[in-house]
């Protein structure tokens, strides 16, 4: 458990940074002033991932506890939603 606590914070920062970079690369251009289904799902997934990453970084590095959703159930549900969105993006 001691080693997990050393590795996870650095991995969290790398995951958030690489996710934002991939969002930038894969989003594409907006044509006819409307978003495609893929872009909408990618935006939702990016928002949820950034929220989880920011929450984790604030907890791990700055010891700031969340003001709302203090249990681990809500972040776990968001991870499940992100996985479902990933599957929907594959079919979109």
Average pLDDT over residues 68-92: 81
Whether residue 30 contacts residue 39, with contact meaning beta carbons closer than 8 Å, is answered with yes
Tell me the pLDDT band of 5, cut-offs 50, 70 and 90: low
| SS3 label, residue 34 | strand
Q: For residue 4, is pLDDT > 80?
A: no
8 A C-beta contact, residue 50 and residue 84:
no
What average pLDDT score do residues 31-56 get?
85
Mean pLDDT of the 67-71 span: 72
Q: Per-residue confidence at 45, pLDDT binned at 50, 70, 90?
A: confident
Q: CA 57 from chain center: how many Å?
A: 12
């Amino acid at each position: 458990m001691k080693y997990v606590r050393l590795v996870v914070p650095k991995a969290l920062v790398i995951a958030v940074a690489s996710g934002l970079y991939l969002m930038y690369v894969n989003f594409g251009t907006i044509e006819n002033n409307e978003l495609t289904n893929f872009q909408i799902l990618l935006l939702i997934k990016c928002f949820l991932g950034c929220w989880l990453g920011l929450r984790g970084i604030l907890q791990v590095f700055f010891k700031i506890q969340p003001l709302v959703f203090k249990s681990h159930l809500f972040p776990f549900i968001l991870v499940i939603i992100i996985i479902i969105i990933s599957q929907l993006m594959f079919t979109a």
